[in-house]
Structure 1
Amino acid sequence: MQQGELIDPFSSARGRLANGTMSRPASGWEQRYRRSVIISDTVATAFVVASIGNFFGARDAANWHEKWGILAFCTELLVLGALAVSRSWSPAVLGQGAEEFRRLGRSMFTATVVLALGGIALTSRNIKLWIFVAIPAIALVTMTTRYLLRLSLHKQRKEGRCLRPVLAAGSPATVRDLITRTRKFPHLGWRVDGVCTTDGRGIDGDQLDGVPVVGRLTDVAKYVEHDGYRVVAVTPDPHWTPDRLQRLAWNLEGSDAEMVVAPVLMEVAGPRLHVDAVLGIPLLRVSMPTFTGGRRAIKVVVDRVGAAFLLLLFAPLMALVGLLVVADSRGGVFYRQRRVGKGGREFTILKFRTMVVGAHKARAELTDRNEGAGLLFKLRRDPRVTRVGAVLRRYSLDELPQLFNVLTGSMSLVGPRPPLPEESAAYGPDIRRRLLVKPGLTGLWQISGRSDLPWEEAVRLDLRYVEDWSLALDTVILWKTLRAVLYGQGAY
């Protein structure tokens, strides 16, 4: 068997379904990947602890065992224990989403607190080294190794390997949407291999977008038993009453199949969804979007400090770009344009000039050649763009002056795309929710295709950010922006 291939679901058995039949084992690649993560975390922790212990312990060899050896052992034990307790090695979070890194960060914080309390109790003078140097170093190394493992996994998934077979059960329309999304984002690790509908038929007869319709919704558990699906994705359909969903969950007990229910609120996710048990009834609680409070205050501080740091870091590059802009064509270095920010307030955005002087007046002559989606005006080969401007746009270097907008508070590092006043004037009530937060230098639109995105998809991503914003999501977007900029996909 090649690495990453799914094992035969009929090759062995482990456990029983509720009706007494045998269940199928987890796929081989899932076990191997989890084992790789555990080994990498253990080796990374041991390496950092040993390096710090040897470096500082060598300066006090006489008291190595008493002062350094015990603390080194306790630090490694605490970190690995915290990783296990916080379920950082759970297969459900490995390889996708921000939850994996969120649990990793929570583990490191827990280890830090326990180590600090232990140091206070034992009045240890050397505990600061392990709290402020060792654990942050462990966090950095483990996050890096996990990211590298994730890149390898995602590469295999794009090649059609290391995917979890999914049985989708619901209405043809909602199942088709699920199939489309799983094919568009293979890195998430789902592959819909079978479909169940109310009448056992799909839109295309016995198939639905190329996926075979294997049966009816009443027989979902039977097909999981025989075909070894790893995920049962339940999508909205009138058939799914609370009683039927509960019975399906009972029938899947003891199997390796994970039951996933898509809520009606499809675009609400992440930290806003909570499951509560009230009077014995499971309720899906949707909290209000966070537009104020402590986390927003942290975001403001991160924006200002981050913008100041990046301006200092990129100052030489920005000076060079400015010289190239002036040398390439007649006109100023910067291009100023009115945009709409939070609450509908207009502000002036700064960008390096990428077009010839008078480009805005020439736009009317190019209207019939517009390739942009929805309200956007875009041309892949815009004759108004200068030679230097084309390079700046490809790698988003023209947007660096927007750091001044972030520094002054009219923009954020991460947020929805800042619209033009004429675009904003055409917004409907739903799209205007983009204006509830500050526009961003980057965002979900930036890491998802930029100008290549259909208008509806760009709006959906912006609204998703507004609804599901979190500090963890901002961190992931900033990290992925670097890759999007380097590849230059969708920038023109």
Structure 2
Amino acid sequence: MVSAPSSISSSTRVPRAPDRWRQRYARRIWISDLLVLIWVVYGTQIAWFGLGNAQVSIREDSRLSDFSYWLFSGGLVLGWMWVLSLIDSRSERVIGNGNAEYKRVLDASVRLFGIVAIIAFLLRVDVARGFLLISLPMGVLILFVERWLWRQWLISQRLRGRYSARVLLVGSESTVAHLARELQRTPSAGYRVVGACVPSGKVASTIEGTEIPIMGNVNAVDRALIATGADTVAVTSTDELPPDKVKQISWGLEAGKQHLVLAPSIIDIAGPRIQTRPVSGLPLIHVETPRFSRGQRVVKRTVDLIASLLGVIVISPALAFLAISVRLSSDGPVFFRQTRVGLGGKEFSMIKFRSMVTNAEELLADLEKQQRDAGNEVLFKMKDDPRVTPIGRVMRKFSLDELPQLFNVIGGSMSLVGPRPPLPKEVALYADHVHRRFLAKPGITGLWQVSGRSTLSWEDSVRLDLSYVENWSLVGDVVILGKTAKAALAPGETAH
């Protein structure tokens, strides 16, 4: 039975004025999109035809007459802006986080040029192919750069608490606390929690483990929105919130200014695996089981092989310099080989530049007794490991000791991007669900490295590895590789 509405002790607050940041941000992107497209399209025209009055030629059997490329370029710019608006590429639902914004820009651009090609064919219009072939990729590339720059600016604003949705959480105290912690961990996503409504409705108290005020019970959402100035309601699971109540909350929101977000209990599931299919008025969320088709494996292996071969060729002088440095700085072999567990749970020999003294394995047992990080019962980590040599410390700081793993990638035992390659003794302590990480080849880098490296807890390391395995995409690999290059330049040691 749903409890009666409870009063909000903060009712004396003055309602916060609506924040128009979404409109301002979309307007700024619109203006910069227009400037970019004018520069690209007219710049391509001038580079291809010069400053003269070149004409778009019309075939003799057409009823149309020739017209200037200056006019055609203007129409192309307006059409490009139009399709970018139609596909909602500036919507607050896609800006600031994820790849959806870039996908929409690419989709709109390709569709536009397809339409232009069809119209030109039907109306017998001869448009210079070189002009179109340069405008499309150049326009998409510069739009990507422009949108990325705006995203960096938006993220910097969000880290200061601005340009974010003000979120009111509704649900049980445990689910609300979990969602609040996740949103606070990633302020760049643009969700700032300002209050919560929970079944107990303990007004003037806060959600356990956070500073988020409780604004009342689940029937006090309307007044909580006014008191907090929230523009987004995020509903999590609770037995006190029947489907009809969620519908009432939705009806009470102001269209276009207030938003409803449903947070299901499933986590770390993303991409094409999630599909919403309405059945008898019910928005059923279908979550496909992770599948790795032969085509996906071929694509990933091809990219790994080509990129690693090119990488070895390009950095061969650096590899030679590091090998000589290791050999001259301490006694022992240049390379360190260690047994790790890879695809399907099979063991393989991982190659690295030796960064420790030769008897490092013998000293490990004593170090494990002296220091074990809290919350990480499986993975041994030590910031100031006394076994590391001076040259090894420099290599570890910039992840240079892992460069020989490119040969593992060429040999097929590893991938450029994938889960962290574990030791056999770590695998022996795995829970059953952790073995799902062996569905993919281990990687030189991965989500585990670009999301905290050696500072991650064991639970977070497992969560990131399983998230990667279950949501793999080629675009995701490219993003991780880009972040790895940035993370490698930051001081710190990788998780070994």
TM class, shorter-length: 0.7 to 0.9
Aligned to 1:418: 421
Q: Give yes or no for the alignment of 1:127 onto 2:118.
A: no
Distance in 2, matches of 1:116 and 1:464, equals: 41
CA contact (8 A) 1:71 1:127 kept: no
The TM-score with structure 1 as length reference comes to 0.88
Distance in 2, matches of 1:299 and 1:231, equals: 39
Deviates more, 1:223-232 or 1:281-290: 223-232
Aligned to 1:87: 88
Deviates more, 1:376-385 or 1:136-145: 136-145
Per-residue CA deviation, residues 171-226 of structure 1 (Å, 9 max, x unaligned), is: 11111112212222111111111110002028x94554211111110121332245
Distance in 2, matches of 1:339 and 1:119, equals: 59
Q: Give yes or no for the alignment of 1:340 onto 2:331.
A: no
Aligned to 1:167: 168
CA contact (8 A) 1:417 1:442 kept: yes
CA contact (8 A) 2:177 2:207 kept: no
One-letter code of the match for 1:252? L
Q: Give yes or no for the alignment of 1:470 onto 2:461.
A: no
Deviates more, 1:138-147 or 1:106-115: 106-115
Aligned to 1:20: none
Instruction: Evaluate the alpha carbon distance shift between residue 82 and residue 346 of structure 1 in structure 2; reply closer, same or farther with a 3 A threshold.
Output: farther
Alignment of 1:154-233 (within 5 A): 154-201=155-202, 205-208=205-208, 209-233=210-234
Distance in 2, matches of 1:111 and 1:334, equals: 54
Unaligned runs of 5+ in 1: 1-7, 12-24
One-letter code of the match for 1:456? E
Aligned to 2:308: 307
One-letter code of the match for 1:104? V
One-letter code of the match for 1:180? R
Aligned to 1:32, what secondary structure does the other structure show?
Answer: helix
Distance in 1, matches of 2:268 and 2:218, equals: 25
Aligned to 2:458: 455
Per-residue CA deviation, residues 90-113 of structure 1 (Å, 9 max, x unaligned), is: 111111122222222322332343
Distance in 1, matches of 2:330 and 2:456, equals: 30
Distance in 1, matches of 2:350 and 2:453, equals: 18
Aligned to 1:360, what secondary structure does the other structure show?
Answer: helix
CA contact (8 A) 1:224 1:257 kept: no
Shift of 1:232: 0.7
CA contact (8 A) 1:311 1:403 kept: yes
Unaligned runs of 5+ in 2: 1-13, 58-67
Aligned to 1:356: 357
Distance in 1, matches of 2:107 and 2:296, equals: 16
The TM-score with structure 2 as length reference comes to 0.87
Percent of residue pairs identical = 38
CA contact (8 A) 1:290 1:469 kept: no
Instruction: Evaluate the alpha carbon distance shift between residue 401 and residue 105 of structure 1 in structure 2; reply closer, same or farther with a 3 A threshold.
Output: farther
Q: Give yes or no for the alignment of 1:51 onto 2:43.
A: yes
Distance in 2, matches of 1:114 and 1:312, equals: 43
One-letter code of the match for 2:42? A
Alignment of 1:253-264 (within 5 A): 253-254=254-255, 256-264=257-265
The count of residues paired between Structure 1 and Structure 2 equals 468
CA contact (8 A) 2:383 2:493 kept: no
One-letter code of the match for 1:55? A
Distance in 1, matches of 2:207 and 2:323, equals: 57
CA contact (8 A) 1:374 1:454 kept: no
One-letter code of the match for 2:90? W
Distance in 2, matches of 1:168 and 1:442, equals: 35
Instruction: Evaluate the alpha carbon distance shift between residue 30 and residue 488 of structure 1 in structure 2; reply closer, same or farther with a 3 A threshold.
Output: farther
Shift of 1:9: 5.8
Alignment of 1:22-61 (within 5 A): 25=18, 27-58=19-50, 61=52
Distance in 2, matches of 1:113 and 1:397, equals: 46
One-letter code of the match for 1:40? S
Greater Rg over alpha carbons, structure: 2
Aligned to 1:4: none
Distance in 2, matches of 1:332 and 1:111, equals: 59
Distance in 1, matches of 2:128 and 2:190, equals: 45
Instruction: Evaluate the alpha carbon distance shift between residue 91 and residue 426 of structure 1 in structure 2; reply closer, same or farther with a 3 A threshold.
Output: same
Deviates more, 1:475-484 or 1:414-423: 475-484
Shift of 1:248: 1.6
One-letter code of the match for 2:129? I
Distance in 1, matches of 2:418 and 2:72, equals: 43
Instruction: Evaluate the alpha carbon distance shift between residue 430 and residue 39 of structure 1 in structure 2; reply closer, same or farther with a 3 A threshold.
Output: same
Distance in 1, matches of 2:428 and 2:380, equals: 15
Distance in 2, matches of 1:50 and 1:194, equals: 50
Instruction: Evaluate the alpha carbon distance shift between residue 491 and residue 210 of structure 1 in structure 2; reply closer, same or farther with a 3 A threshold.
Output: same
State the superposition RMSD in angstroms. Answer: 2.4
Aligned to 1:405: 408
CA contact (8 A) 1:339 1:420 kept: yes
One-letter code of the match for 1:316? P
Instruction: Evaluate the alpha carbon distance shift between residue 206 and residue 429 of structure 1 in structure 2; reply closer, same or farther with a 3 A threshold.
Output: closer
CA contact (8 A) 2:277 2:283 kept: yes
Pick from 60, 63, 67: which aligns with 2:54?
63
CA contact (8 A) 2:205 2:213 kept: no
One-letter code of the match for 1:36? R
One-letter code of the match for 1:53? Q
Aligned to 2:30, what secondary structure does the other structure show?
Answer: helix
Distance in 2, matches of 1:396 and 1:57, equals: 49
Aligned to 2:370: 369
Shift of 1:433: 0.6
Shift of 1:490: 5.2
Distance in 2, matches of 1:144 and 1:103, equals: 14
Shift of 1:271: 2.3
Aligned to 1:308, what secondary structure does the other structure show?
Answer: helix
Instruction: Evaluate the alpha carbon distance shift between residue 136 and residue 207 of structure 1 in structure 2; reply closer, same or farther with a 3 A threshold.
Output: same
Aligned to 1:434: 437
Distance in 2, matches of 1:187 and 1:398, equals: 32
CA contact (8 A) 2:345 2:438 kept: yes
Instruction: Evaluate the alpha carbon distance shift between residue 108 and residue 339 of structure 1 in structure 2; reply closer, same or farther with a 3 A threshold.
Output: farther
CA contact (8 A) 2:194 2:228 kept: no
One-letter code of the match for 1:471? L
Deviates more, 1:161-170 or 1:63-72: 63-72
Distance in 2, matches of 1:464 and 1:374, equals: 20
CA contact (8 A) 1:341 1:438 kept: yes
Aligned to 1:211, what secondary structure does the other structure show?
Answer: coil
